[in-house]
Amino acid sequence: MNTHTRSPLRQIMLYSVTGISLAIWVFPILWGLLTSFKTERDVLAYPPKFIFTPTLDNYHEVIFGASSILPNLLSSIVVATGATLLTMLFAIPAAYALARLRCPIKKTSGFYVLATQMLPPVGLIIPYYLILQKIGGLDSYSGLIIIYLTFSLPFAIWLMVSYFEDIPLEMEEAALLDRAGRLGALWHVILPQARGGIAVTTIFVFLNAWNEFLFAVVLGGNQVRTVTVAMFNFISVEQTQWARLAAGAMLAMAPVIIIGIFAQRHIVKGLTIGAVKGGGRR
């Protein structure tokens, strides 16, 4: 078989695998979207109904009704935004120090940062709960943001170190020769070069905080209840309100989808910055 006959076959196989993978990923979202426009009777119908009269009652209920999730969306925005800003504020200088500075504890610190990602989150629930209980941080924005900071900061540092290491050291040395100083070189040289990596790290940190459930349900409460926890309002022992649950899930996913659409260029660019090593010096 020559190259000309093999190439179309490879393209067909590639497109087929891509289409199947995309269909598997999109199907649950489309099914949830269809469910959000159904009545409870249509949701529980068997066999499932693909042709039905759509209704907006579920969205009206989860937005304006007694089970409104708008306050929970606001709580998620506050917690995710606060955790992201604090994480990046500490992660950028920490990652720069690990990538550039020569210190005896560099390897130890790098191992610690990586090791924290191996800890199971469920094993930290009780210590976090007891600590927040002692300092009065349960069911508060500040307490939940601090907890999110503890597991998002190592991830952000670990992700950004590779971006900083790939920036040619000569650019920074030129800035230091011009008496820019470490902070000046970081601000004027390093950060502009690593803005793609910083953007993708910021997006991932925000999405992780937005989608987090375990810590929010245990350490939150009536005052601070994120949108992922608010989904429990539609689940009870007697019944599960699948249609309203699906409508709430669609509203909860909307910010994530919007961010993904508008930031996809930065995500792809940031993920490919460190794909080829050798541009920087370690």
Contact assessment for residue 264 and residue 207, using Cβ atoms and an 8 Å cutoff: no
Q: Provide the pLDDT for residue 73.
A: 93
End-to-end CA distance of the chain: 47
- CA angle centred on 32, ends 220 and 18, rounded to 5°: 110
Alpha carbon distance 154, 119 (integer Å): 12
Q: What is the pLDDT of residues 55-89, one digit of tens each?
A: 999 999 999 988 889 999 999 999 999 999 999 99
Q: Provide the pLDDT for residue 149.
A: 93
pLDDT average, residue stretch 192-196:
83
CATH number of 65-273: 1.10.3720.10
Of 213, 201, 197, 79, residue with least CA distance to 149: 79
**Structure token digits, residue 234:** 């539609």
Q: Is residue 281 predicted with pLDDT exceeding 50?
A: no
Alpha carbon distance 100, 13 (integer Å): 45
Q: What is the pLDDT of residues 217-274, one digit of tens each?
A: 999 988 899 999 998 878 876 788 899 999 999 999 988 888 888 877 766 765 665 5
Q: What is the pLDDT of residues 134-184, one digit of tens each?
A: 999 999 999 999 999 988 998 898 888 888 888 887 777 777 777 777 777
Of 89, 85, 87, 92, residue with least CA distance to 190: 92
Q: Is residue 276 predicted with pLDDT exceeding 70?
A: no
Contact assessment for residue 224 and residue 152, using Cβ atoms and an 8 Å cutoff: no
pLDDT average, residue stretch 3-19:
78
pLDDT average, residue stretch 109-129:
80
Q: Provide the pLDDT for residue 272.
A: 62
Contact assessment for residue 166 and residue 279, using Cβ atoms and an 8 Å cutoff: yes
Domain map of the chain by residue range? 65-273
Given pLDDT bands bounded at 50, 70 and 90, which one contains residue 280?
Answer: very low
